Amino acid sequence: MKNSRRQFFTKAAAATTLTTLPFATFGREYSKAIDNTQKLSAPSELKITNIKCGYIRGGHSLFVKIYSNQDIVGHGEGVDATPGTFHLVKMFGKRLEGKNPLNVHRLFEDIRRIGFFEGAQSGMYVAVLTAVETALWDLAGKALGLPVYQLLGGKFRDRIRVYMDTALYQSRLPKPEDFAASAKEAVDMGFTAVKFDLDQANDPNKYDAYNWTASPAELQRMYDQMAATREAVGPTIDICADMHGRYDAITGEKVAKMLEPIHMMWLEEPIPAENVDAYKKITESTSTPICAGENHYLAHGFRPLLENGAVDVIMPDLQKAGGLGEAQRIANLANLYYVPFAPHMVASFLGAMASCHVCASVPNFMILEWQIYFHKNPMYKEIVSYEGEMVKDGFITLSEKPGIGVEINEDGMKKYADKDVPLFE
């Protein structure tokens, strides 16, 4: 088995030497990786035997484990569009059982195509498929003894810059001085970029609970909060703000224009995701960069945003938009339009590191989201297994371990698992 694979890669390396040295090196390195990896059988004999899952956060965080006949297990995560999807995971498992997990793209396409009439265009179907696809990459990397970024074609960087989402939720009616203090705390922790929420459902100055137009007092509150942030951290720290798609187009235009003196890194989702033309109108009206994509799915969902110049920055959620391979396709598509790739990330450290492999593999990566809960909620350390520090001085060091480099810790997750759903059964 090893000899036949070695001969294949040796011949490939020899042949490519006639053209370029890097391809010869690729053949030799792949041959070494395969030969140095302990396997129970040939890669061609690797088969999926089962898929199991668990949920936390009321079903909004899905964790998937894919089992194989060689006792290699792949781990993946999906977020947000996942409540109530236990049986969808099981259905995908039946469709994948007996298949070779190394054919990641093929298996992704099989599940997507068979679901054309089951909702495979977006939403829960794609979010669950994202978790499964991620676990396939993890399993493939472990089987071949390679980190996922290597399977994606290599890396442009060793460290992934992240911005701190301060989670200074507007439901608590924070004041401008609260914004300033929170921003300084993040900078003191080593972060060079911070994000805040501007939407405030219980703002007493709202016209009513359903009106999407911000009142003058709301607009003033938003400006004061961002101005206090900029004053607190100075001109060299990146600042961005999220509106969670909860306003209308005229408010989006006003806020973007109003914040121009603040020199924002971006203004995020001022309006809902569906209307590309409305996004374009806002983007063209201001020098404040407009960012969207958290609620778009698959490369198909990003094509009109990019073709129409509707946004300045895209932020797909890599635990929701279709998986790691699809995320790389989205980033490469954006690169054709010279649009930066800045993924949304509200997952565990498993999802964060999985995202890092994609961020390392594309040239147009800008920055990745990071959450304050990693530092303040012990659950996020208990539900995963990993080595080293999670983040240091505003960067995540890319894992060099086979697969993703972070795994689900079932024992730790038991304490936080949703009680109404079986946990990895």
For 125-169, what is each residue's pLDDT tens digit?
Answer: 999 999 999 999 999 999 999 999 999 999 999 999 999 999 887
Q: Residue 51 has what pLDDT?
A: 98
CB-based burial, 170-191: b 16+ in 10 Å, e otherwise:
beeebebebbbbbbebbbeeeb
User: How far apart, in whole angstroms, are the C-alpha atoms of residue 47 and residue 24?
Assistant: 30
User: How far apart, in whole angstroms, are the C-alpha atoms of residue 102 and residue 123?
Assistant: 26
174 — phi, psi (to 5°)? -70, 150
CA dihedral 275, 281, 285, 287 (to 10 degrees): 50
For residue 400, how many other CB atoms are within 10 A of its CB? 12
Q: Residue 16 has what pLDDT?
A: 42
User: How far apart, in whole angstroms, are the C-alpha atoms of residue 366 and residue 341?
Assistant: 6
pTM of the model: 0.89
For residue 13, how many other CB atoms are within 10 A of its CB? 19
Token pair of 97, please? 């059982």
User: Among 3.30.70.260, 3.60.20.10, 3.30.390.10, 3.10.450.50, what is the CATH number of 44-146?
Assistant: 3.30.390.10
For residue 184, the SS3 value is: helix
Task: Name the residue ranges covered by the structural domains of the chain.
Answer: 2-35, 44-146, 151-401
Q: What is the DSSP string of 121-181?
A: TSHHHHHHHHHHHHHHHHHHHHHHT-BHHHHTT--S-SEEEEEEE----GGG---HHHHHH
For residue 98, how many other CB atoms are within 10 A of its CB? 10
Parts of the chain with a pLDDT under 50: 1-26, 39-40
Q: Residue 42 has what pLDDT?
A: 75
Q: What is the H or E stretch that residue 23 is in? A: helix 21-35
User: How far apart, in whole angstroms, are the C-alpha atoms of residue 402 and residue 144?
Assistant: 8
Residue type, 351: G
For residue 85, how many other CB atoms are within 10 A of its CB? 22
CA dihedral 81, 85, 90, 93 (to 10 degrees): 0
Contact 199, 244 (CB under 8 A): yes
* 151-401: CATH number: 3.20.20.120
Burial of residue 116 (number of CB atoms within 10 Å: 0-12, 13-18, 19+): exposed
Q: Residue 35 has what pLDDT?
A: 61
